[in-house]
């Protein structure tokens, strides 16, 4: 018999990176802190590494209200304005 497929195509399956950054030297890197207690420590270490080893110009850290909520629109706007690259993660 014929039946309907109940699923929907998953959106964004063909998304690509808008552009690549290449060399990190002189770039501004952003992090979105997911508020889990150890994320901040991880980002502090990564920030030092990025600055000392790869010569990034600045590291900007923004914090979400809580782990399960999306970052607020003003946080995203702020990062988009200031950063060349933003790293989000789920470190714990």
Partner 1 sequence: MSASATQPLTRAALVEAPDDLDELIEFFHARRWSDGLPIVPPTRERVARMLSGTARKPEEVIAKIAPGFGEATVERIAINAVMAGCRVDYLPLLIAATQAMAEPQFNLQGIQATTNPVAVWLLVNGPIAEQLGVNGGMNCLGQGTVANATLGRALRLILQNIGGALPGDMDRATHGQPGKFSFCCAENEAQSPWDALHVERGYKRNQSTVTVIAAAGTHNLNTHADNADELIKVIADTMAFPASNDYWIGGEPWLVLGPQHAAILAAGGLSKLDVKRRLWEESKLSAGRMCAKEVLRTQSTRGAALGTITSETMLTVAQQAEDIGIVVAGGPGTHTVYVASFGDARAVTREVLTA
15 binds partner 1 (CB under 8 A): no
16 binds partner 1 (CB under 8 A): no
Judged by CB under 8 A, the stretch of 24-32, 47-55, 61-69, 78-86 that binds partner 1 is 61-69
63 binds partner 1 (CB under 8 A): yes
Closest to 66 (Cα-Cα) out of 25, 36, 22, 27: 36
Q: How far is the CB of 34 from partner 1 (least distance, A)?
A: 10
Interface pattern 31-60 for partner 1 (x via CB under 8 A) = ----xxx-----------------------
Laid out side by side, the sheet with 28-33 consists of 58-63, 28-33, 85-88
Q: Tokens 């399956």 map to which residue?
A: 13
Compute the half-sphere exposure of residue 17: CA atoms within 13 Å on the CB side of its CA: 7
């Amino acid at each position: 018999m014929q039946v309907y497929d109940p699923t929907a195509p998953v959106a964004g399956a063909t998304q690509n990176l808008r552009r690549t950054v290449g060399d990190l030297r002189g770039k501004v890197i952003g992090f979105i802190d997911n508020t889990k207690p150890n994320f901040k420590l991880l980002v502090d270490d990564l920030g030092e590494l990025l600055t000392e080893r790869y010569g990034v110009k600045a590291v900007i850290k923004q914090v979400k209200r809580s782990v399960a909520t999306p970052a607020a629109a003003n946080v995203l706007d702020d990062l988009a304005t200031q950063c060349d690259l933003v790293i989000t993660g789920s470190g714990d």
